[in-house]
Amino acid sequence: MLISVLGLFQQMYEMNRAYLWFMEVEFTFLGTGTSQGVPIIGCACEVCQSENTRDQRLRVSLWVKAGGATVVIDTGPDFRQQCLRARVDALDAVVFTHEHKDHVAGLDDIRPFNFRSRKDMPVFATERVEQALQREFKYIFEADYPGVPRVQLHRIAEEPFAIGDARWWPLPVLHHKLPVLGFRIGGLAYITDANQLSPLALERLDGVDVLVLNALRRESHISHFTLEQALEWASKIGARQTYFTHISHQLGFHDSVNAELPDGVALAYDGLVGTAHGVGLD
Ligand SMILES: [Zn+2]
Ligand SMILES: [Zn+2]
Ligand SMILES: [Zn+2]
């Protein structure tokens, strides 16, 4: 009797592990371009003139489906166009990495989601980002004027937080001197706008299945990883698949740069869809 009860517990434990192992996080790159996007207005360079759609990059954003919730990381200036293009027709939350305009400028366009769901949009941000939103979108937080975006702020720091049934683990990184958050959700990690990873971020990247990292261009930059630095981190972290994002026109043609990259490392492009498997950090 005792043996069969123990056996049952053992079986439940294994099933639970199996469930965790097969937990899937789906993601879509809504945008993969640096702050001005690619092509840049008025730029005559060959990348900006390219007709390959993979050379055309809207500002960075990732659409994540995890734990029964659909979430967008950052709402840059192209947010509306990205939602239309990828058919994002429902949204349970917005999570911000930092307050730079190429990551927050499209916040006003959450209104259609407010109207459809008749709910305030949960917005996850650090205290500093929250203050920037309150300053730059004063009208949202001030008057109860009909039709303005409705947000419900959730302050985050370094501790994990939940959206739906998924646990999100902040990955603190530095963007020159500015603290920025990346996120680990199940087997997926997303880091944009960094040129330094913290020890806590590295610890939380352990065992990651799909890693997204920023790689601006080949020449050094004050606040972004170069292609070479991003490659070094990709090899140290050793995810099954690494994607680079926040790409400048100066990096070169998508197809030729991509062809240089080792197995398991690729440039992301707008519209790329993937699935991360594996356990989170719980
Ligand atoms: Zn940026
Ligand atoms: Zn150009
Ligand atoms: Zn930035």
From the list 183, 126, 119, the residue with the least C-alpha distance to 152 is 119
**What's the pTM?**
0.92
Q: Write the single-letter amino acid at 181.
A: L
CA of 52 to the centre of ligand 3 (A): 26
pLDDT at 282: 64
Residues 145/133, Cβ–Cβ less than 8 Å: no
CA of 234 to the centre of ligand 2 (A): 27
CA of 37 to the centre of ligand 1 (A): 10
pLDDT tens for residues 162-205?
Answer: 999 999 999 999 999 999 999 999 999 999 999 999 999 999 99
CA of 130 to the centre of ligand 1 (A): 17
CA of 267 to the centre of ligand 2 (A): 18
Domain positions in the chain are 25-268
CA of 32 to the centre of ligand 2 (A): 15
CA of 174 to the centre of ligand 3 (A): 10
pLDDT at 11: 61
pLDDT at 7: 64
Write out the two tokens for 145.
């004027």
- What's the topology of domain 25-268? Metallo-beta-lactamase; Chain A (3.60.15)
CA of 47 to the centre of ligand 2 (A): 6
pLDDT < 50 stretches in the chain: 17-21
Write out the two tokens for 130.
């929250």
pLDDT at 245: 98
Cα separation, 160 vs 228, whole angstroms: 30
Cα separation, 55 vs 227, whole angstroms: 16
